[in-house]
Chain A
Amino acid sequence: MPDNTVDDDFVIAKHYSRRNFVKLLKLAYRNLFRNKRRSFFAILIAASGCTALSIAIGYYSFSIYSLQELTIRNGFGGSSGSGHVQVFDKRVGEQSEERTMEFGLDGVKGLIETIKKDADVDYVLPRIEFGGLISNGDKSVPFKGFGVEAEKEMQLWGGLSEINPRLKLGEQLQPLKSGKQGIILGSALANSLHAKIGDMMMMYSTTVDGAINGADVELLGIMSTGVSETDKYYLLTNIGVAQKLTNSSKISLLSVMFKNRKHFDDKVQSLQSYLEKNSSAQNFKLVPWYEQAAFYISIRDIFNIIFSFMGSIILVIVLLSCWNIMNMTTMERIKEIGTLRAIGLSIKNISAIFMLEAFLIGVIGVVIGMSVQLIASRIINALQIIMPPVPGMSRPYTLQVYAATWFHPLIAIGIIIAITVSSFSSLIIIKRFSIVGSLEHT
């Protein structure tokens, strides 16, 4: 009797496997309505897990994007925004500078015009970085200064308002537009000098020749960089003032902003080639923003670990909760399972019913969870919840949750897999009971 003893129910029905799959799916769907409360809770677990993961990823996306833009536009760590890419003299970072502005960029106007011709470039910001002492007459304190073009720098800083409307960083630079020979000090530095806006101060630095030079400057503004530590030495002035003080027409670097960050590496490569072709006078080094964003990268790595861990925990909770529900569901139908096995259905076929049931719970849960996430994110964003400053920062921020649609398929797959895996509990139970044991079970 060879045809009877072979476990070939799948083989014989292979031709009709698609039809039978649809029938089992239909049966699984109807089974969802047998114990509505239990199915409701299973779907609720799936939906909650999905919503929690989507919102967490939405918050992660907001945080990462905010940190990137903060690094680019305002400088995470409070110094100054890097822009998308910075143009340096090739020797910067390779050799040590013995004199002020030794490796500075010369012929800046022409260079800026050349860079601006690149179709991807939005604007170019010249900057001088210098150090020295700032004095109120009684006390002198070291500073780290940045000479900038206020108008362009306001455009760069102001970009953060698109992410966080409460941040009006560009306005902090407004005093530099007065045309006066003045400075803006970090709040802690101003406090240490007991300085008030309008006070006259002396600013000292070394010139390109190595001599000490000083200039009378008016305190035009006091600002917080957002990082308490940076506020202790931060000084901002117009690029002309800095050039006069250092007695040089050179600048330290050019910060370039592209119109957007799409195909970023290609744009950087293209700009590098463009500069090499069109400006042979000097060798340049282009440094993309992320190569100067050690602080951002370390925070991003921590975020990745935290959010991966949190996501895994949510998936495990979903799996275990549904495992328990599938356990109860299977035990409740153990006699029916015995009947199906007795009439010739294999364990694989019967397990498939439970697996499809779990799959449907997962799919319905994901659809509901994603819908809830869309509504919940909008509510959270509309509430403009103020979050306390992150450690090391002094500026609070507004909580936002991004859509992060790029990650939604992964969340959906993760939840559906977790719940489908929970149906393995049914398989374990089905295998544990013999046919007779299942039929006799009460």
Chain B
Amino acid sequence: MPSETLVQLENISRKYYLDKTEICALDNVSFQIHKADFVVLAGPSGSGKTTLLNIIGCIDKPSQGKVFFEGTDITNTPIEKLNHLRLKNIGFIFQSFNLIPVLTAFENVELPLLFKGLDDKTIKNLVEKFLHRVGLMDKINEKPSNLSGGQRQRLAIARALAGNPSLIVADEPTASLDRKNAESIIELLRELNDEFGVTIVLASHDPMIIEHSRTKLFMRDGQLVSE
């Protein structure tokens, strides 16, 4: 595996059982994600984008195949044992933002950092740096309910980025936003990708996002296909 590879998937399959019916969400998928890349998983609904993203984000396990993260085989490591890997290396951005409604913008970004063993001063500096970077310093004490959709997603980005992860996984990050906000979010993600060298993997079927990507992977019926 080349040194610049962040995630490597080998012959990944993921099967679900709906009642007693077997559903193959991923079928023998293999590819590599390189460090600092901006990857878009494109494809129609039900093509397996989210399932693949979950495996890349280490919150799901493949039924078959191998997963390597920074060269280490984590295929057989239980999900619970991967808490620290996610805490340290992976940031998540969700379609519906998934912010904690009772926490302020500052506290939402602060929460995962608390469990990384950072001191208070470092946490404060990191939170303010990233809230400033996503343009939410004036909303630092606001709760998510007082923010617009675009602002909420910016806050979610700040939360994902503040821990200095090597990978950000974003599932349909613009699906709940209007066109203007969607463009703004994608531009922000591209800038952050360039600025911090963080690897970003997005799942989307939005042509505008696919246009912005550096690496495009198309999926259909659980398999990677050519465009």
Interface, chain A (partner B; CB < 8 A): 1, 3-9, 12-16, 19-20, 23, 27, 30-31, 33-34, 335-336, 338-347, 349, 434-436, 439
Q: Would you call B83 and A346 a contact (CB within 8 A)?
A: yes
In the complex, B72 has a CB within 8 A of chain A: yes
- Flag if B102 contacts A27 (CB, 8 Å): yes
Instruction: Give Cα distance in the complex from A434 to B117, angstroms.
Output: 25
Greatest chain A CB density within 10 A among B57, B70, B102 is at: B102
Cα-based distance from A1 to B67 in the complex (angstroms): 13
List the one stretch of B86-94, B128-136, B205-213 in contact with chain A.
Answer: B86-94
Within 8 A of A (CB), among B30-85: 54, 57, 59-60, 69-72, 74, 77, 79-85
Given A27-B100, A342-B92, A346-B80: A5 touches B114 (CB 8 Å cut-off): no
Of the candidates B85, B89, B101, the one whose C-beta lies within 8 Å of that of A34 is: B101
Contact, CB under 8 Å: B120 / A19: yes
Interface residues on B, range: 35 or more
Q: Does B149 have its Cβ within 8 Å of any Cβ on chain A?
A: no
| Interchain CB contact (< 8 A) of A4 among B54, B89, B92, B118 | B89
* Interface presence of B103 (CB below 8 A): yes
Closest to A24 in B: B114
Shortest beta-carbon distance from A319 to chain B in Å: 26
The contact sample of 29 A-B pairs, CB cut-off 8 A, is A1-B70, A1-B71, A3-B84, A4-B84, A4-B89, A5-B74, A7-B84, A12-B84, A12-B116, A12-B117, A13-B114, A16-B118, A20-B115, A27-B103, A30-B102, A34-B101, A335-B98, A339-B94, A340-B100, A340-B111, A343-B87, A343-B159, A344-B87, A344-B88, A344-B115, A344-B116, A345-B112, A347-B80, A435-B79
Task: Name the A residues within 8 Å of B100 (CB-CB).
Answer: 27, 336, 339-340
Binding site for A on B (CB under 8 A): 54, 57, 59-60, 69-72, 74, 77, 79-92, 94, 98, 100-103, 110-112, 114-120, 159-160
Task: Indicate if the CB atoms of A7 and B83 lie closer than 8 Å.
Answer: yes
Q: How far is the CB of A96 from chain B (nearest CB, A)?
A: 78
Measured CB to CB, the closest approach of chain A to B83, in angstroms, equals: 5
Q: Which residues of B contact A339 (CB under 8 A)?
A: 92, 94, 98, 100
**Complex Cα spacing A15 to B119, Å:** 9
Minimum CB–CB distance from B23 to chain A (whole Å) comes to 14
Contact call B117/A342, Cβ cutoff below 8 A: no
Interface of A is mostly: helix
Contact A1 B74 (CB under 8 A): yes
| Candidates B60, B74, B116; contact of A436 at CB < 8 Å | B60
Residues of B contacting A8 with CB < 8 Å?
84
Residues of A within 8 A of B85 (CB): 1, 4-5
Residues of B within 8 A of A34 (CB): 101-102
CB distance from A62 to the nearest CB of B (A): 45
For residue B88, which residues in chain A have a CB less than 8 angstroms away from its CB?
4, 344
Closest A residue by C-beta to B84: A9
Cβ B77 vs Cβ A5 within 8 A: yes
**Which of chain A's residues has its CB closest to B86's CB?**
A344
- Return A36 CB to nearest CB of chain B, in Å: 12
CB distance from B122 to the nearest CB of A (A): 11
Closest CB of chain A to B7's CB: distance in Å?
12
Q: How far is the CA of A15 from the CA of B114 in the complex (A)?
A: 11
Instruction: Give the one of B84, B92, B101 with max A CB within 10 A.
Output: B84
Min CB distance B13 to A, Å, is: 16
> Across the interface, which residues of B come within 8 angstroms of A344, CB to CB?
83-84, 86-88, 90, 112, 115-116
Smallest beta-carbon distance A374→chain B, Å:
33
The minimal Cβ–Cβ distance linking A308 to chain B, given in whole angstroms, is 40
The reply to whether A23 and B80 form a contact with Cβ atoms under 8 Å apart is no
Q: How far is the CB of B120 from chain A (nearest CB, A)?
A: 7
B74 near A342 with CB under 8 A, answer no
How close is A204's CB to chain B, nearest CB, in angstroms?
87
Chain A residues with CB under 8 A of B120: 19
Q: Which 4 A-B pairs have the closest CB atoms?
A: A344-B87, A1-B72, A30-B102, A4-B85
